[in-house]
Copies of this chain bind each other. A is one copy, B any other.
Amino acid sequence: MGHDDAELLSRRDAAFGAGAPLFYDEPLHFVRSEGVYLYDQAGRGYIDLYNNVPCVGHCHPKVVEAITRQVGVLNVHSRYLHESAIELAERLIALHAPQIETMLFTCSATEANETALRMAKYLTGRKGIVCTNKTYHGNSDLVSHLSLVGTVQPESAHVHAFPFPDSYRPLEPGLTGEALCEAYLEKLTDAIKRFEMSGVGFAGLIMCSIFANEGLPDIPDGFMARATDIVHKAGGLVIADEVQAGYARTGCWWGYELNDFAPDIVVMGKPMGNGVPLAALGTGRSLMEMFRAKTRYFNTFAATPLQAVAGLAVLDVIEEEGLLDHVASLGGRLKAALQERQSASPRIGDVRGSGLFLGVEIIKPDGGREPDRERARWLSNRLKDLGFLTANAGAYENMVKIRPPLVFNEQHAQSFLEAWDTAISGFDF
C-alpha cells in the first residue's frame, strides 16, 4: 500500500471510526470502472468477479444516460403522481410468478425485508420468524436479529433457526436424498412448533432462494416446495429474499424459479439500480393493501423517478443484451471448468451454484471435507494480486465466491481460469 493510500486509510478511520469493513488484507483503492473492470490509481485494471450490484456492468452507458437525463428533469417523492416508478413496478410484476401482483419500493433490501417481516406479523397476528442458522438479511434491528442466529447469535423469543439444507455436509453423516430432505424438513417443523408451544405463534419463514450466504448449498430435491407447504399448513408466509438470487443471476430470472417454490412475498435489492439505492418488495394485492391501510407506509427516497429510470434501464439492458441466456450458458461452462480443477485437487471439495453465481469449496486435503477458511482467504487475496476480485464466503468462509457482473464474458472467464491456475501453481493445492 502506497503512502497516499495509507493516508486515505487513516482519514477513513478518523472519519468513519476504525472498524468500517474493507476487503482484502491490503485494501484496494479504485478511481474508475467500466464493464467488469475496476481501475486503481495507478491505472491497473481488475476484473470484477465479486460485485452483483453493478449487474449490467460498472457505469453501463444506458444506465448512466437514463440517470443523467432524469436527474436534470425531475426527482421527487411518490406522493405526487409520476409515471416511471409505476412502470418499473409493472415490469417487475410481469417478470414474477402470478401471486406477485403488487410492488412496494424501498431504498435498501434491509428496508424491504423489514417490511416483509412486518407484513407477515400483521397478516398472521403472530410474531415468530424462522430463518436458517447461517443467514444474513440486513442491518436493521429486527432484521439483524436473524443474522447467524442459532450459531453466532442466540435464538430469541421471536426468531428461531433451522440448519440450512446441505447435501455436501449433511445433517447426519450418511444421510442422502429423500431421507436427508426429510431430516431438514423436520428441523423446520421443529422451529415452527417451538413458536406454537411458546405462545409466540408462527408468522413466516424467510430465506434466500439459493441460500447464498450459507454457501450456495446443493439443496435436497423437493425441499423448497415441501418447506413452503409446511409453512402454509402452519398458517405462515414464505418470504423469498431474492437480493442475491434474483435478476437473472442464476440463469433464471428468480431464485425461486431455479429452486421451484412459490413464495408469498419476494424481496429484491442489490442489482436493481446498478448502484443507485433501490430495493422492492412484491406480494399479493390483498396483503399489500392490508399493509398500506394499516401503516400508511411512506418512504421519502423510494419510488422516485431517479431510482425508477435506473431500474428500468437495468431491465432493458438485461433484455436487450440477452443476459439471461448468456448467464445460463457461460455459467455452465465456467462451472464445468472449475469442476475439472476440482477433480485435479484434493483441496477443492466442491463446486456449486448456478449461472454466474458459483462457489468453490476449499477444504483440508485429508478427505474429511474440513473447511479451510485460511486457504480460501489466501486464495482470494492471491487472485486479487493477480487482478481478479473474488472473496471467501459461505457458512464456513471457505468458499471462493464468484459472482461477477452479468456482462462478464467468455474471455473474462478464460483469463480468470488462467489466473486461478497461476495462483495455485507452485503451491500445494
**Chain A interfacial positions (CB closer than 8 Å to B):** 5, 8-9, 11-12, 14-23, 27-33, 38, 51, 53-54, 58-59, 61, 63-64, 67-68, 71-83, 86, 89-90, 93, 102-104, 106-111, 114-115, 117-118, 139-142, 144, 269-270, 275-278, 285, 288-289, 291-293, 295-304, 306-307
Cα–Cα distance between A17 and B303 once the two chains are bound (Å): 13
Which residues of B are found within 8 Å of A108, using beta-carbon distances?
A: 106-108, 111, 299-302
Q: List 25 A-B contacts (CB under 8 A).
A: A15-B86, A15-B103, A16-B86, A16-B103, A17-B285, A17-B292, A22-B80, A27-B81, A33-B73, A53-B77, A59-B71, A59-B74, A64-B72, A67-B71, A107-B111, A107-B301, A108-B111, A108-B299, A108-B300, A110-B111, A114-B139, A114-B140, A115-B139, A139-B298, A277-B307
Return the contact of A54 from the options B76, B141, B278 (Cβ within 8 A): B76
Which residues of B are found within 8 Å of A83, using beta-carbon distances?
A: 8
Cα–Cα distance between A359 and B384 once the two chains are bound (Å): 57
The answer on a CB contact under 8 Å between B139 and A142 is no
Return the contact of A90 from the options B11, B64, B275, B304 (Cβ within 8 A): B11
A17, A53, A54: most-surrounded residue (chain B CB, <10 A):
A17
A59 (CB) vs chain B CBs: closest residue? B72
The answer on a CB contact under 8 Å between A81 and B22 is yes
The answer on a CB contact under 8 Å between B76 and A139 is no
Return the contact of A142 from the options B9, B142, B293 (Cβ within 8 A): B142
Return the contact of A301 from the options B71, B277, B293 (Cβ within 8 A): B277
The answer on a CB contact under 8 Å between A300 and B270 is yes
Cα–Cα distance between A62 and B355 once the two chains are bound (Å): 41
Which residues of B are found within 8 Å of A289, using beta-carbon distances?
A: 17-19
Q: A58-B76, A107-B277 are in contact. Are A141 and B144 (CB under 8 A)?
A: no
Q: A33-B74, A71-B59, A296-B21 are in contact. Are A275 and B306 (CB under 8 A)?
A: yes
The answer on a CB contact under 8 Å between B139 and A111 is yes
Which residues of B are found within 8 Å of A15, using beta-carbon distances?
A: 86, 89-90, 93, 102-103
Return the contact of A23 from the options B9, B79, B106 (Cβ within 8 A): B79
Which residues of B are found within 8 Å of A14, using beta-carbon distances?
A: 90, 102
Which residues of B are found within 8 Å of A78, using beta-carbon distances?
A: 20-21
15 further contact pairs, Cβ within 8 A, besides A8-B86, A275-B306, A277-B277: A8-B81, A11-B86, A11-B90, A20-B303, A33-B74, A71-B275, A107-B108, A107-B301, A108-B300, A109-B300, A110-B299, A111-B111, A118-B141, A139-B295, A139-B297
Return the contact of A76 from the options B30, B73, B298 (Cβ within 8 A): B30
Which residues of B are found within 8 Å of A76, using beta-carbon distances?
A: 30, 33, 38, 51, 53-54, 58, 275
A41 (CB) vs chain B CBs: closest residue? B81
The answer on a CB contact under 8 Å between A58 and B75 is yes
Which are the 3 A-B pairs with shortest beta-carbon distances?
A19-B292, A17-B288, A15-B89
